[in-house]
Amino acid sequence: MGLKDICPIIEFKDIGDERGKLVAIEGGITIPFEIKRVFYIFGSDSSVVRGRHANKESEFVLINVAGESKVRLTDSHEELVVVLNRPMVGVYIPKMIWKDMFSFSKDSVLLVLASTHYNGSEYIRDYNDYQELMN
Ligand code: TYD
């Protein structure tokens, strides 16, 4: 299984009508985990790289609900860059995948759904430590 299979793109259904678009995301149904936390990142510019970590416990879905950003994913062997630029599309990121978010457009609003409450101690923030754990 490659990274594209491990970190699939999820296409959300547009249940909107002539009044505009509407996307509904339900934990355990639209995405493969119960949502315990939601955060969103905005006001980052094209020079910023965020993330730079892997998580021992958390799973995530990333959605650019406005604007565009990119996320570079790796399992320490393979690398995959996903462009997030449609509110109808998310990328699922399981545990133990290293992620860097970058190339934020000025209007980027990156919505993140997480399977856990925040716990700083489950973050791996040193890439060498991550590589050692993965090998
Ligand atoms: P950080 O993990 O560096 O954000 P990113 O992954 O986007 O680069 O988090 C920045 C700060 O915010 C850090 O002090 C931890 C805190 N934080 C929380 O308190 N709760 C959260 O859910 C998140 C994601 C971060």
Distance CA 17, CA 1 (A): 38
Q: How far is CA 47 from CA 27, 68, 81, in A?
A: 33, 14, 17
Catalytic option among 8, 40, 50, 53? 53
37, 39, 98, best to mutate for ligand 1 pocket (most atoms within 8 Å of CB): 39
What pLDDT is attached to residue 96? 98
What pLDDT is attached to residue 9? 98
Residues 6+ apart with CB under 8 A from 102: 46, 48, 49, 50, 69, 70, 71, 72
Query: pLDDT by residue (tens digit) across 1-19?
Result: 899 999 999 999 999 999 9
What pLDDT is attached to residue 125? 98
What pLDDT is attached to residue 42? 98
Q: What is the mean pLDDT of residues 34-51?
A: 97
What pLDDT is attached to residue 49? 98
Q: Rounded to two decimals, what is the model's pTM?
A: 0.97
What pLDDT is attached to residue 72? 98
- Where residue 75 falls (left for φ over 0; alpha for ψ -120 to 50; beta otherwise) is alpha
Site residues for ligand 1, CB cut-off 6 Å: 37, 39, 41, 50-51, 118
Distance CA 122, CA 103 (A): 26
Query: pLDDT by residue (tens digit) across 66-117?
Result: 999 999 999 999 999 999 999 999 999 999 999 999 999 999 999 999 999 9
Tell me, yes or no, if 77 is annotated catalytic. Answer: no
> Which atom of ligand 1 is closest in space to residue 53's alpha carbon?
6
> Which atom of ligand 1 is closest in space to residue 50's alpha carbon?
8
Give the DSSP H or E segment for 42: strand 37-42
